[in-house]
Structure 1
């Protein structure tokens, strides 16, 4: 009864558009969620890196780049195309301090994980920011998302073992090869034995070329971990 009265006086709002939400069980309102393009219903994807294929009839298989050079992660998956409403919401989250979106993003990832062939995870790890970037932004967007996931799955959250050991150039305007070179040696573990034999899921907001996820995965794999990668969105080639 009290909950109904509170909902009438202070109706729940969508964290993306701030309009009233009818279904409290969903992270976003129906209008905003409809603007997020789910990758799993767009096209077949690479069984390893999750890259959507241009052809819609090829079926799921391993892509050429993954066959030529096996990624350091066992599997990577993204939920949405990094375009439209997803891009706008992530930009508001990262660059306009719209932190109310963090629980919604965590819920969206959790709903999607059930349909992904991920094994049970031992540890969840956010992609770290360099200390200077963290001071400038004031928060690590990946860590905020991870907290919601770890809490609901009752999985250990490690946020201070994998660190960004050196500052790098912004990745935004760099090409794929430049991104990979820019991040070489950028990540390190403070105590590598803690991850030996662990099944780790590393989480980030966006997968663009995969350079960040791959560089983090190399460090984790070298420590003896089995690595899986999960991102909210990824750049999809047209």
Structure 2
């Protein structure tokens, strides 16, 4: 299956990564034959270099370099916070406020206990795009389930930063097996007819490291996300 190309020039290429696809093969998923890097390499007929990562379950904008030199330049831009990223997330419940900033340090490795690990600075801006009330009973006290569509902007690139931060404010992302609730995730998967992590890399904006022009990449979410207000794409 061909990957959808969002942008391509002689230096870099961006794709719309489908949910469930690894960025590249790892020892932790040695049984998986499919990964975005290998599929894109075969599709273009040339080597490609990943410059950032998305969780396997996350869909959306994924950027690759077409040389090791450009990969180094782009990687440094991610490290310096020169890549402006915006995500969409479907979360449990309705946040009380319309927007906010989560300022909560995170341990470097989310797979290990936080105790004993150094805590790294981490902030995520968020705002509510839509509030939904689904005809789905997941709590015996209520006949419906409240869900919010959020736009999230991580100011750093800590591993699982958005997932961990939204759990911290008690609005975990739907479909998050690590930070969410299993019974709710299973009910939502049945209700929507698909099982996935409801996190989507919607926009990535940066200055081209060689051409000096602004590159604005956008991956339109699939129909299963429901209506996304136009304001989310305009910012």
TM value normalised by structure 2: 0.28
TM value normalised by structure 1: 0.28
